[in-house]
Amino acid sequence: MLQKLYDWVDERLDITPMWRDIADHEVPEHVNPAHHFSAFIYCFGGLTFFVTVIQILSGMFLTMYYVPDIIHAYESVYYLQNEVTFGVIVRGMHHWGASLVIVMMFLHTLRVFFTGSYKKPRELNWVVGVLIFFVMLGLGFTGYLLPWDMKAYFATVVGLEIAEAVPVVGGFAKALLAGGEIIGAQTLARFFAIHVFFLPGALLGLLGAHFYMIRKQGISGPL
Amino acid sequence: MHRGKGMKFVGDSRVPATRMPNIPKDYSEYPHKTEAFWPNFLLREWMVGAVFLIGYLCLTVAHPSPLERVADPTDSGYIPLPDWYFLFLYQLLKYEYAAGDFTVIGAVVMPGIAFGALLLAPFLDRGVERRPIKRPVATSLMLLGVIATIFLTWESVDQHDWEAAARQGAIVEDEIDEDAEGYQIYMSQQACINCHGEQGEGGAAAPNLFESDYSKEEIMDIIINGQGEMPADLFEGSDEELEIMAEWIENDGEAPE
């Protein structure tokens, strides 16, 4: 039955080459921890992606309760934390995942750096990877404001003060992020939009490019 | 051979006339054991992911994510602190030559050089050597950066007054003693509850009972004679009950000792 369905689609769209590109390839010994335990350093990138997937899923569930305005934001997070079934787990996974993704990405960056894997022909993939790093930091910064509690608010105040210190474009960047002079209702709405739509969109595009280049170029050879 | 713009194709754009270079070496050419990605290697990765997920969930269950009291922009005494992965930058801006008149150095120049170099690393370190020991400049600069980041984060955590911050951010709950005799009397006075609420929390028509600093005598006077929009003579109990309730209000909702 399943085979028939596959054949039906394959006859029309020729999906077998796509499947071969995605899944049908060999994994060399030097990245396989089953052969050399020290190859576990090659797991960091995959684990970063794993946490990213969890962040996307848990974030989708959080938006079912979260209300992005200054009157209700805190109340909705409080309700989510204390009343909703498993709300404390879902919010906890999103909270800790935000830290874990930074940790795993940091380790992955160090692995790629110290194995010299960014060298020709993989320069572009390194650049895309560093851009993913910046997007992740942006996601961390914008997401931190959303609970609208004391630490969230004042961390954002400090962060935007630092942005304002940048010469020439600083004032503009702050006004763009905060939506005006004061950090208030408009800031929360903007951070929500950036955190939920703009940066995840950029992240998915960059991840797509990152993975496409890995498949195209293959993993770097042994040292 | 022609590459990029103007290249020729056979038939349509899916089949280039000349084979593209840079197709990675087949792994079977490495003189070792390879493994199929699907399903063998993916199953191992799945197991690593499962172990990781267990640790992740243990962390989540053991440490519920923090939530402080609702943001109060007027509370200028609050000690601000960004999330931990921004602490290195936050700490850098505390040093003399990276703050004040030199903020541009701490906020733009130093992070700009560090992250710019990270972004452009493949174009700065162009040699063919891949082993860290064979490219000492790149390796030592990266180690320096990592050590500096860890040091700055450590210093920031060390200098932050965590106890004061926990006090400042704590959710304060205004609990009243519902077993107190004063509360029982209060609950019997429908006129009081109508405006001040069942917990004395106040509302559109009346203030919170416990946010004022009146003495017992002043409270009794207000209840008997009214004040502002509050009418006089609504209390329907004995003078002793009035006194007990006034004491309870004076004592911020707790039974007097």
Instruction: Give the count of Cβ contacts less than 8 A between chain A and B.
Output: 219
Could you tell me which chain B residue has the CA closest to the CA of A46? Answer: B45
Q: Over 50: is that where the pLDDT of A8 sits?
A: yes
Give the tens place of pLDDT for each residue, A22-81: 887 888 888 888 888 999 999 999 999 999 999 999 999 999 999 999 999 999 999 999
Is the Cβ pair B27, A120 closer than 8 Å? no
Q: Over 60: is that where the pLDDT of A217 sits?
A: yes
pLDDT (0 to 100) of residue B12: 64
Mean pLDDT value across residues B110-137: 94
pTM of the full structure: 0.81
C-alpha dist (Å) from residue A15 to A6, A9, A207: 9, 7, 22
The hierarchical CATH code for the domain A31-116+130-217 is: 1.20.810.10
Contact A190/A164 with Cβ under 8 angstroms? no
Is the Cβ pair A165, B103 closer than 8 Å? yes
Contact B241/B185 with Cβ under 8 angstroms? yes
Residue scoring higher pLDDT (B174 or B223): B223
Could you tell me which chain B residue has the CA closest to the CA of A35? Answer: B33
How is residue A111 written in tokens? Answer: 């692995």
Could you tell me which chain A residue has the CA closest to the CA of B23? Answer: A217
Please indicate if any CB of chain A lies within 8 Å of the CB of B95: no
Q: Over 90: is that where the pLDDT of B195 sits?
A: no
Q: Are strands B35-36 and A26-27 parallel, antiparallel or unpaired?
A: antiparallel
Of B32, B78, B104, the CB nearest to A165: B104
Give the domain ranges of chain A: 31-116+130-217
pLDDT (0 to 100) of residue B220: 86
Contact B65/A91 with Cβ under 8 angstroms? yes
Mean pLDDT value across residues A204-218: 92
How is residue B232 written in tokens? Answer: 């006089």
* CA atoms of B46 and A43, how far apart (whole Å): 11
Of A74, A92, A147, the CB nearest to B64: A92
Mean pLDDT value across residues A114-143: 96
Please indicate if any CB of chain A lies within 8 Å of the CB of B154: no
Contact B82/B147 with Cβ under 8 angstroms? no
Contact B22/A217 with Cβ under 8 angstroms? yes
- Residue A127 with chain B: CB contacts under 8 Å: 119-120, 122
Q: Over 80: is that where the pLDDT of B173 sits?
A: no
In this structure, is the dihedral angle defined by the CA atoms of residues A141, A90, A45 and A121, taken in order, positive or negative?
Answer: negative
Is the Cβ pair B132, A116 closer than 8 Å? yes
Contact B191/B242 with Cβ under 8 angstroms? no
Q: Over 90: is that where the pLDDT of A197 sits?
A: yes
Picking from A157, A41, A149, A174, the residue whose alpha carbon sits closest to that of residue A95 is A149
Residue scoring higher pLDDT (B126 or B33): B126
Q: Over 50: is that where the pLDDT of B1 sits?
A: no
Residue found under tokens 């050879």: A221
Q: Over 90: is that where the pLDDT of B252 sits?
A: no
The proportion of chain A whose per-residue pLDDT surpasses 70, expressed as a percent, equals 100
Q: Give the confidence band of B57 by pLDDT, cuts at 50, 70, 90.
A: very high
